[in-house]
Chain A
Amino acid sequence: MLFTSVDDVSARLAATGYLASPAVATTVFLADRLGKPLLVEGPAGVGKTELAKAVAEVAGARLVRLQCYEGVDESRALYEWNHAKQLLRISAGRDETWDETRTDIFSEEFLLTRPLLTAIRGNDPKVLLIDETDKADVEVEGLLLEVLSDFQVTVPELGTITATRRPFVVLTSNASRELSEALRRRCLFLHIGFPEEELERRIVRLKVPALDEALAGSVVRVVGALRAMDLRKVPSVAETIDWARTLLALGADSLDETVVRDSLGVLLKHQDDVLKAAAKLDLDAV
C-alpha cells in the first residue's frame, strides 16, 4: 500500500509537482488498493506519462518504461537470450559435454531482461509504465494479458517467474486504435481530459511561477475559449504552459491583441485553426 487515502494521494502527488484532479487521485488510490493496472487515456499533452513519473517519485520506486511502437515484440518487451554471448560460451568450453554446456547457456547470466520482466523481478518497489499502448500491434496485447493479470512471465527454459512484489502499472493510450476488451477488463480506466479552469490556473502558476497571477488567469481563460471552438487540434495543458513561458519571455504583463496575435502559433498548430481562432477572437488579419 502506497497511500492511505485519496487526500493523501493528492497531497503527495502535489508535493512532486503533479496537481491531480479528484478523478485522477481517486483512480490512483483505487489502483493502489485493488492492485490493478491503470489504463490512462486522453488527448496528447495532459500529463498521462507525467502521472506515472510522479507516482514513481512519491513511492520512491524505480520507473521501468516500455515505450510501445509498431512492431515491438516479445524480445523487446519481455526478454531475449544473449545469442552472441551464448556462442562465445560454447566456443570457449570446447572439451565439455553438450549437457553441461546446455544447462549453462540457458541460465540467468545469458538472459537479457526487457521492461516487462524487469518490472516483476526483484524486491524493490517499481512503477511499470507501458507508454502509448495503442501503437503496439494486437499480438503484444496478448503478451500483456499474462503479465498484467497474474504478474508472471513464463520463460520456457527457466520456468515461470512470478512477481514477489507487484509493480504499480500504468498504461497510456492515445486511442489511435481501440484496445481489446480483454486488456481493458484487467485495468482500471481513467480518462484525463482538460482540467477545470481553477486547476489549470494552479498548474500554470506552479510550472511558471514568475508569471503574474492576473495574467495567468487570462491565459487560462483564452485557452478555455479556444477549446470551446471547433478546431482541428485544440490546445492542451502542455501548450498552455508553453504559451505562459512564451509570454514571460516576451515580457508581456497583460494580454492585448498584438501579443495574442503574435504568439497564437504556440497554442495552435494548424494554419486553419489560427485563422479561425483569430476571427472568433476579433483579432485583425494575421
Chain B
Amino acid sequence: MTVPGVAERLTSLVGALRAHGMRIGTGETVDAAQAVAVLGLADRELLREGLAATLLHGTVQRQVFDPVFDLYFPRGVGAPETEHADRDDLRDRLAAALAAGDVVLMGQLAAEAVDGFGGYGASPGSEGWSSYQTLDRLRPQTLFARVRENVRARNGSSGFADRLLDDEIRRRIETFRRQVGVEARRRIAERRDRDELARRAVATTPDRVDFLYAGKLQLAELRRTVQPLARKLATRLAARRRRASRGSIDLRRTLRGSLSTGGVPMKPVLRRRRPVRPELVLLCDVSGSVSGFSDFTMLLVQALHDQFSKVRVFAFVNRLDEVTRLLEHGSADPEGLGARIRAEATLTGWHGSSDYGVALGEFAERYADAVGPRTTVFVLGDARTNMSDPNLAAVRQVAERARRVYWLNPEPRAQWGTGDSAAPEYAELVEMYECRNARQLGALIARLLPV
C-alpha cells in the first residue's frame, strides 16, 4: 500500500457494509486490499468495480455498496471549483445536459447545485446540506417540456422511437435527482461522522426492510423481488420433494445403474414416490398497516401456485371474503392488487378496524369445507383485535380440521401481547412465527410449506 490511510479507510468501509448485514470475512478484505494495490487509486470507477468484485457476494448487495462507497471514496473534497452560479444559468445548462443525456456533466451540475442551493444554517452550508432543498429550489422536473423541445430540435423526428422520448427524459431527470442525493450525502459526510452516516443514511437491501415500516417505493421494490424469490423457493421445494423418496428398491433402475460397476449393484436406487401436492389456504388481514405484508405474501403464494393442487385465498378486516379469483394467474396486477381487493370484496361490516374474532368465526362457519385433512392454513396478520373477543374457539375448530395451521406475524416478537395484541393467546393454539421482512418470509415458507 503506497498511500497511507487507505487500509484504514478500506476497513471502515467493510465495517459499514457489515453493519448492513453483509457477511464479509477478513479474507475478502485482504483480497480487496490486493485489488486496490493492483488497480491503483487513479480511476475511481475501476476502484469501485474492483472492490465490488472482491467484497460482494450477491446482486442485491450492490445497491447498498454504491452509496457506502461514495461516502468512503468520495469524488472530490469540498466545494466544486466553479463560480457561484445563479439559478437560471444552472437550469439552462442542466436542460442542455439532460437533452444530451450526458451523465458526467449532469453529475458536475449536481455538485454545483448542492453547493449553490443546498446549504442551510446561518451562513449557507454551516449546518449541513440538503438534497431536498436543492431539488425544491432547482425544480428539475419543470424542465421537462424544454428538454423535449431541445431534443426534437436537435435530432428532428426519428419516427417510431419518438414516442419513447418522454419516458427517457423522465428517467434522466430521475438520474439527476439521485446524483444530487449522492452529492449532498458527500458534503454532509465531510462535516459529520462518516461511519455513523454510512450506517444510518444508506437504505438497506429490500429483503431486509420491515414490512410494517416499508414506504410505498420500498413496497414497489419488494414486489419486484416476488418472481425471483418464488423461483428460488420452487427449486428448493422440488429438491426437498425429490430427496424425500425413501422406501422400496426400484429393481429396474438399480440393475441399470450396476452396469457401470460390472453388474455389482453398488448403489441401490429407491422407488420414487408420487409427489403429493398439498392444498393451501391463506387468511390475510388486509387492514391498514399490515396490508403491505399480506399483499406481498399473496403475490408470492400466487407465484408458487403450481406447487399446490389448490390454493384458496381469503382476505379480511372484520368481515371475511374469498379473493382467490382476484389473484388469478396473469390477471394479477401487483400494484393495484390491494386496492382491488378492498374495492371488490366485502371486508368490513359496520366499522373499518380489524376484528380477528368475527372474521375467523365467519371463516369457520361459512368456509368450513375449504379446510380438510390435506390442507395447510396460513394466517397472516398482527393479531391486534382492537380489544374485541379473539374467538379462540373458531381457531381451535380450524386447527382440528386442518393438517397444519401456521400464523405469520409481521410484528417483532417483543411486541406480541402488548396493547390489544392477542398474539400469545393464538400462539397457544397454532404455531406462530415472527415474519418481519422478505428474507424471513422466504426462509419460513421454505421450511413450513408441506412437500
Query: Which residues of chain B are near A260, meaning CB under 8 Å?
Result: 160
Q: How far is the CA of A42 from the CA of B260 in the complex (A)?
A: 38
- CB nearest to A190 among chain B residues: B53
The segment from A96-104, A152-160, A217-225 found at the interface with B is: A217-225
Which of B38, B161, B224 contacts A30 (CB under 8 A)? B38
Contact B46 A6 (CB under 8 A): yes
CB distance from A46 to the nearest CB of B (A): 12
CB distance from B446 to the nearest CB of A (A): 10
Annotate A103-145 by CB proximity to B: 1 below 8 A, 0 otherwise.
0000000000000000000000000000000000100000000
Query: Which residues of chain B are near A41, meaning CB under 8 Å?
Result: 58-59
Annotate B101-123 by CB proximity to A: 1 below 8 A, 0 otherwise.
00000000000000000000000
Interface of B toward A, CB cutoff 8 Å:
23, 25, 27-28, 31, 34-35, 38-39, 45-46, 49-50, 52-54, 56-59, 62, 158-161, 163-164, 167-168, 171, 224, 227-228, 231-232, 235-236, 239, 260-262, 330, 334-335
Contact B59 A281 (CB under 8 A): no
Q: How far is the CA of A6 from the CA of B262 in the complex (A)?
A: 53
The segment from A11-19, A177-185, A237-245 found at the interface with B is: A177-185
Interface of A toward B, CB cutoff 8 Å:
6, 22-23, 26-27, 29-31, 33-34, 36, 41-42, 83-84, 87, 137, 175-178, 181, 184-185, 188-191, 214, 217-218, 221-222, 224-225, 228, 230, 232, 254-257, 260, 272, 281-282
Q: How far is the CA of A126 from the CA of B334 in the complex (A)?
A: 47
Contact B46 A221 (CB under 8 A): no
Contact B261 A189 (CB under 8 A): no
CB distance from B49 to the nearest CB of A (A): 4
Query: Which residues of chain B are near A30, meaning CB under 8 Å?
Result: 35, 38-39, 50, 53-54
The dominant DSSP class at the B interface is: helix
Query: Which residues of chain B are near A6, meaning CB under 8 Å?
Result: 39, 46
Most buried by B among A31, A188, A230, A255: A188
List of 7 A-B pairs having minimum Cβ-Cβ separation, nearest first: A255-B160, A26-B49, A218-B161, A184-B57, A27-B53, A225-B164, A188-B53
Query: Which residues of chain B are near A189, meaning CB under 8 Å?
Result: 52-54, 56-58
Contact B164 A222 (CB under 8 A): yes
30 CB contacts below 8 A, A to B, read A6-B39, A22-B45, A23-B49, A23-B52, A26-B49, A26-B50, A26-B53, A29-B38, A29-B39, A30-B35, A30-B53, A30-B54, A34-B38, A42-B59, A83-B261, A83-B262, A84-B262, A87-B262, A137-B239, A177-B236, A178-B232, A181-B57, A185-B57, A188-B53, A189-B52, A218-B159, A221-B161, A222-B161, A224-B168, A225-B164
Contact A34 B35 (CB under 8 A): yes
Q: How far is the CA of A52 from the CA of B232 in the complex (A)?
A: 25
Q: How far is the CA of A56 from the CA of B219 in the complex (A)?
A: 43
Q: How far is the CA of A281 from the CA of B159 in the complex (A)?
A: 13
- CB nearest to A27 among chain B residues: B53
CB distance from B66 to the nearest CB of A (A): 12
Query: Which residues of chain A are near B31, meaning CB under 8 Å?
Result: 34, 36, 188
CB distance from A168 to the nearest CB of B (A): 15
Q: How far is the CA of A216 from the CA of B59 in the complex (A)?
A: 29
Query: Which residues of chain A are near B34, meaning CB under 8 Å?
Result: 33-34
Q: How far is the CA of A6 from the CA of B47 in the complex (A)?
A: 11
Query: Which residues of chain A are near B23, meaning CB under 8 Å?
Result: 181
Q: How far is the CA of A214 from the CA of B158 in the complex (A)?
A: 9
Say whether, besides A33-B38, A83-B260, A254-B159, A221 and B168 are in contact (CB < 8 Å): yes
Say whether, besides A34-B34, A176-B232, A191 and B50 are in contact (CB < 8 Å): no
Q: How far is the CA of A41 from the CA of B160 in the complex (A)?
A: 34
Contact B235 A191 (CB under 8 A): no
- CB nearest to B243 among chain A residues: A137
Q: How far is the CA of A256 from the CA of B28 in the complex (A)?
A: 51
Which of B59, B159, B260 contacts A256 (CB under 8 A)? B159
Contact A176 B158 (CB under 8 A): no
Q: How far is the CA of A230 from the CA of B318 in the complex (A)?
A: 33
- CB nearest to B47 among chain A residues: A26
- CB nearest to A271 among chain B residues: B330
- CB nearest to A275 among chain B residues: B330
Q: How far is the CA of A232 from the CA of B167 in the complex (A)?
A: 20
Query: Which residues of chain A are near B25, meaning CB under 8 Å?
Result: 185
Query: Which residues of chain B are near A185, meaning CB under 8 Å?
Result: 25, 27-28, 57
- CB nearest to A86 among chain B residues: B262
CB distance from A66 to the nearest CB of B (A): 20
Say whether, besides A83-B262, A181-B23, A27 and B49 are in contact (CB < 8 Å): yes
Query: Which residues of chain B are near A254, meaning CB under 8 Å?
Result: 159-160
Contact B160 A232 (CB under 8 A): no
CB distance from A202 to the nearest CB of B (A): 16
Which of A36, A218, A230 contacts B160 (CB under 8 A)? A218
Query: Which residues of chain B are near A188, meaning CB under 8 Å?
Result: 31, 53-54
Query: Which residues of chain B are near A22, meaning CB under 8 Å?
Result: 45-46, 49
Apart from A181-B57, A218-B158, A228-B167: 19 A-B pairs, beta carbons within 8 A: A22-B46, A26-B53, A30-B38, A33-B34, A176-B232, A177-B232, A177-B235, A177-B236, A184-B57, A184-B58, A185-B57, A188-B53, A189-B58, A214-B158, A224-B168, A254-B159, A255-B160, A255-B161, A281-B164
